[in-house]
Structure 1
């Protein structure tokens, strides 16, 4: 075999290309999965917050509103498959408004989303997503 023939020999080039490109492709794929997971979690947490605000706004008392909001938020998170220790804050100050005055119930749902299983360098172990929902309290509602 001549020297000129060995210079143009491509044996092993494909294996080398795969070894060099595969880690980059895997990192891009894992990052895409991470962004998709956070995006889906954002939508689910927003949905839970709006459902909680609606459930609270049709309640008669602040205590009942808080309980209904927490239950509705947890139900939505469970239905959506988002298993996280959610922090659910319910602002029921609108119940203190005088009859005829408008007000809104606001619910904030905060949920840490795990990303550690994706094993991407530089990607945090969890990402906290927050959703907020408001629902108008009926100004002419009956009071207890």
Structure 2
């Protein structure tokens, strides 16, 4: 092809699309990996938060600290079991130290759930292998539940 400037050089674009696609994919895959990592972290955070809230509510309507511990553990475990693929490992801590001794007394229960989310499957450079998320929820104890035979 001749152009008007008298230059007989041919313009050949072969291979440029392949190079552009390779460059775009080299940037696109890590970005998609980071988006997936943020999604996994958000899912793990929601799982821990929901489990802590369910456990705090279940513990707050119990009649005594021992049954509050048991009810909270069961509620958190059930909530975490529903999202079994989200948390690689988890722990549940229930604080009943402010549990009231008698009906009518004010009190509260505090539950902390820790959820470790694995990100190893994403295999993105610079991404941690796992992320530990923690959620704490508090619930006022029901004042009108009979306590310890009262």
TM-score normalised to structure 1 length:
0.90
Other structure's SS at 1:67 match: helix
Q: Any stretches of 5+ residues in structure 1 without a counterpart?
A: none
- Structure 1 consecutive aligned stretches of length 4 or more whose deviation exceeds 4 Å: 96-99
1:97 Cα deviation from its structure 2 partner = 5.3
Are 2:62 and 1:67 equivalent residues in the alignment? no
1:77 Cα deviation from its structure 2 partner = 1.2
Q: Which has a greater percent of helix?
A: 1
Q: Using the alignment, how far apart are the partners of 1:83 and 1:34 within structure 2?
A: 14
Map of 1:86 onto structure 2: 90
Residue in structure 2 matching 1:112, options 99, 104, 116: 116
Other structure's SS at 2:12 match: coil
Are 2:49 and 1:58 equivalent residues in the alignment? no
Q: Using the alignment, how far apart are the partners of 1:97 and 1:120 within structure 2?
A: 53
Map of 1:25 onto structure 2: 28
Aligned residues: 142
Q: Using the alignment, how far apart are the partners of 1:121 and 1:142 within structure 2?
A: 56
Other structure's SS at 1:37 match: helix
1:112 Cα deviation from its structure 2 partner = 0.6
Q: Using the alignment, how far apart are the partners of 2:94 and 2:24 within structure 1?
A: 49
Aligned counterparts, 1:102-141, within 5 A? 102-141=106-145
Map of 1:14 onto structure 2: 17
Map of 2:5 onto structure 1: none
For residues 71 and 84 of structure 1, do their structure 2 counterparts lie closer, same or farther at Cα, with a shift above 3 Å needed? farther
TM-score normalised to structure 2 length:
0.87
Q: Using the alignment, how far apart are the partners of 1:56 and 1:10 within structure 2?
A: 70
Q: Using the alignment, how far apart are the partners of 1:67 and 1:142 within structure 2?
A: 17
Q: Using the alignment, how far apart are the partners of 2:55 and 2:88 within structure 1?
A: 16
Map of 1:4 onto structure 2: 9
Q: Any stretches of 5+ residues in structure 2 without a counterpart?
A: 3-7
